[in-house]
């Protein structure tokens, strides 16, 4: 699988990813270990894959773009909303000092925890719960990544951004969203539209109501 992983890194480079730390994280992280066995042969395609419980693992180029936009320097404390497969969690573990990640679906939480442990990530803390309210105990965070699309930016997450902190969050309908970059500068909150995206719905107190 090492050759396939290196080909993926080359593909990301061809697609314009320049951050060497991000490319290195992809080279170090075995995507096949985070997808169900039935789709493992497709693990290194630049495509989203089903991971069960109605959830998907995003295509690698989306992860790479997310991580590059945040311009991480290695010293950050990062909050991830939606652990999913745990793949992005481990990518982050190679890029920052500490990762705090929240997953609301128990089955995914368990499988992600096992995959993260097998990958050898030691700077990850996990919580089973509602990601839309964040994880106040360890706030503030230098960066927050939201891996699902909500109707608006969750206020609780904005409150948990550190000074100069950045949050990437998809906002829009359940079918399509706009990826927004939210930055805290003192009492000012700056919001910039990045790109149109399609993520699974963000369910929770400050997201969509679960049907």
Burial classification of residue 5, based on how many CB atoms lie within 10 Å of its CB (0-12 exposed, 13-18 middle, 19 or more buried): middle
Q: Is residue 157's pLDDT more than 80?
A: yes
Task: Say what the pLDDT of residue 138 is.
Answer: 97
Per annotation, catalytic residue among 53, 58, 75, 111? 58
Instruction: Dump pLDDT digits (tens) for 15-45.
Output: 999 999 999 999 999 999 999 999 999 999 9
* Domain boundary assignment for the chain: 2-197
| 211: confidence class by pLDDT, cuts 50, 70, 90 | low
Owner of token pair 């295509």 = 59
What CATH code would you report for 2-197? 3.40.50.150
Mean pLDDT, the chain, rounded, equals: 95
Known catalytic residue at 58: yes
The pTM assigned to this predicted structure is: 0.95
Burial 128-144 (b: 16+ CB within 10 A, else e): eebbbbbbeeebbbbbb
Instruction: Note the pLDDT tens digit of each residue in 93-118.
Output: 999 999 999 999 999 999 999 999 99
Residue 148 burial by Cβ neighbours in a 10 Å radius (0-12, 13-18, 19+)? buried
What's the pLDDT score for residue 205? 95
């Amino acid at each position: 699988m090492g050759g396939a992983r290196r080909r993926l890194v080359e593909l990301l480079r061809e697609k314009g990813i320049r951050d060497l730390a991000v490319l290195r994280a992809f080279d170090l992280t075995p995507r096949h270990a985070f997808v169900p066995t039935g789709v493992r042969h497709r693990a290194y395609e630049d495509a989203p894959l089903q991971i069960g419980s109605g959830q998907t693992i995003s295509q690698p180029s989306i992860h790479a773009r997310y991580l590059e936009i945040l311009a991480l320097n290695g010293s950050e404390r990062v909050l991830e909303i939606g652990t999913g497969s745990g793949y992005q969690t481990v990518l982050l573990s190679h890029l920052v000092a500490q990762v705090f990640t929240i997953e609301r679906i128990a089955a995914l939480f368990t499988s992600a925890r096992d995959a993260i442990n097998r990958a050898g990530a030691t700077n990850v803390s996990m919580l089973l719960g509602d990601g839309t309210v964040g994880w106040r105990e360890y706030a503030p965070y230098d960066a927050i990544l939201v891996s699902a699309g909500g109707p608006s930016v969750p206020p609780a997450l904005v409150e948990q951004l550190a000074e100069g902190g950045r949050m990437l969050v998809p906002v829009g309908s359940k079918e399509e969203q706009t990826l927004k970059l939210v930055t805290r500068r003192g009492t000012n909150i700056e919001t910039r539209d990045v790109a149109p995206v399609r993520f699974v719905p963000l369910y929770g107190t400050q997201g969509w109501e679960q049907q």
